[in-house]
């Protein structure tokens, strides 16, 4: 997937996430659609351009949250690199595999963000439940959204 296509799809995913948040969907039930773009890109082919795209998408999400610049960029690069390493051994065409991969990727990205963000508290039970709920919702959306990303790419 080219950088421009990945960034366009990522921006559309950000708009969809923002629209859902504006409609009043609780944070724990918001799927991480931008993360699914990164997951789809990691399985479509690993390259330096993909890492740069994941970093730019993370910065875009950081800028949109207006909290701190960098945690989502680092989380997306970490997820992209990890999935690029295992992408040759997994077939994302299976819905179950894409859901499991998305669940693990969402857990890794959210934990990475929480470790780098001064506003989050991983010791809080509420925060852990929110991470697990958001990862579950992301996993449910993964088969359809990753298939859409693969079709565009």
Judge if pTM exceeds 0.75: yes
- Asked if 140 contacts 99 with a C-beta cutoff of 8 angstroms, the reply is yes
Alpha-helical regions (H) of the chain: 3-22, 33-44, 48-65, 71-86, 95-116, 125-152
CA 82 to CA 126: how far, in whole Å?
27
Q: What is the pLDDT of residues 54-103, one digit of tens each?
A: 999 999 998 988 777 888 999 999 999 999 888 777 776 788 988 999 99
Mean pLDDT, the chain, whole residue set: 88
Q: What is the pLDDT of residues 34-49, one digit of tens each?
A: 999 999 888 887 788 8
């Amino acid at each position: 997937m080219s950088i421009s296509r990945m960034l366009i799809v990522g921006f559309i995913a950000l708009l969809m996430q923002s629209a859902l948040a504006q409609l009043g969907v609780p944070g724990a039930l918001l799927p991480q659609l931008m993360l699914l773009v990164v997951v789809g890109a990691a399985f479509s082919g690993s390259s330096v351009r993909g890492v740069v795209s994941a970093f730019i998408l993370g910065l875009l999400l950081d800028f949109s949250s207006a909290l701190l610049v960098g945690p989502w960029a680092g989380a997306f690069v970490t997820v992209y690199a990890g999935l690029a390493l295992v992408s040759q051994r997994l077939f994302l065409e299976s819905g179950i595999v894409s859901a499991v991969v998305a669940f693990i990727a969402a857990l890794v990205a959210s934990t990475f963000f929480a470790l780098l963000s001064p506003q989050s508290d991983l010791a809080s039970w509420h925060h852990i439940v929110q991470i697990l709920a958001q990862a579950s919702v992301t996993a449910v959306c993964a088969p359809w959204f990753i298939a859409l990303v693969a079709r565009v790419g």
